A = this chain, B = another copy of it.
Amino acid sequence: MPASWTGLSASHDAAHVTEADFIAALRELPLHPGAHELRDDNATIGGLTVTTDTIVECVHFLPDDPPGDIAWKLLAVNLSDLAAKGARIEGVLLNYPLSNDAWDRVFLDGLHAALDAFGCLLIGGDTVSLPANAPRVLTLTAIGRDAPAPLRSGAQAGDELWVTGTIGDAGAGLRIAQGAPGPQTLIARYRRPTPRLADGLRLAPLVHAMMDVSDGLLIDASRMAVASGLAVTVELAAIPLSADYLAFAGGDVAARLAAATAGDDYELLFALPAGGEPPSGAVAVGRFDAGSGIALTWQGASVPLPARLGFQH
């Protein structure tokens, strides 16, 4: 799923333009002060916080995914970015490609249910036609207010890294949806993620930095560390796993690495001062220190980094 613009290192060659190249070039454009140098998932403007995500058929969802689930996910992934700022929802804009058939009606029914579920209002948008057989491209922009949470760049040396909920369920759900044997309940965690809006409101005044886990706990923890100019160490044994996930994959190092690199969790990842009040429903999974880079441990012993830390676009 799309995180908004975040800076990643990448290889270069003259003809190929990676996302990292493109975002680096975007930073050369005239930027609004509320753009936070394009280093956060949210922009700040006139007391509002704004985030936008685009999802693409065959990239972020499958052509035969239920339209109602796609509507839910489009809304949920954007509201998850508002949750990470402790924002209250003001409303959303939708940019929608008409199918001109029943798909449109089923999508709208699903969007209606999702808006109701989150107490969210529609502000506006645009509808377009696509050429025949073009993959659907849907954009949603979410606007929030009263967003007191700091950026992902605010972590301090000595802070602990915490995460809400359980990790890896959505990644397992995707594999089960694709045919792997496992608890069918995990599929819903992939298709219908829950933005942690109430947790975000509660955590915002307590944290030094917060973001949502969209691309994988390890890559997102690494991004928070980079943005904050710190090193981060993640204790794999502490990563919270659901009973369903344990039944699907077990709880050994490989299973926890898979959970921590799968993405689509939409839990909140945050830096909390050491000894801070531990929020219920969240667990400490690591620690920030002076330095740079990400390191992994298993019950305190160093573990090599996996080949990839999460989903990259």
Chain A contact residues, CB within 8 Å of chain B: 2, 4-5, 15-19, 21-23, 25-26, 28-32, 34-35, 38, 42-43, 45-48, 50-60, 90-91, 93, 95-102, 104-105, 108, 111-112, 115-116, 120-131, 134-135, 137, 139, 141, 143, 145, 313
Contacts and interface: CB of A to CB of B under 8 A. Distances in A.
Contacts of A4: 124-126
Q: Which 6 A-B pairs have the closest CB atoms?
A: A43-B124, A32-B121, A137-B137, A32-B91, A17-B104, A32-B123
A121 B31 contact: yes
A126 B45 contact: no
Contact of A130 (B35, B129, B135): B135
A28 B100 contact: no
A98 B141 contact: no
Nearest to A23: B127
B126 A52 contact: yes
Given A29-B115, A100-B18, A121-B31, A2 B59 contact: no
Given A5-B126, A16-B101, A35-B124, 20 more contacts: A4-B124, A4-B126, A5-B125, A23-B127, A25-B104, A25-B108, A29-B111, A30-B112, A30-B120, A31-B121, A31-B122, A32-B91, A43-B123, A43-B124, A45-B143, A46-B90, A56-B131, A57-B131, A130-B135, A134-B134
Contact of A128 (B56, B125, B127): B56
A22 B127 CA distance: 9
B95 A139 contact: yes
A16 B105 CA distance: 10
B108 A26 contact: yes
Given A16-B101, A45-B48, A137-B97, A56 B130 contact: yes
Contacts of A43: 93, 123-124
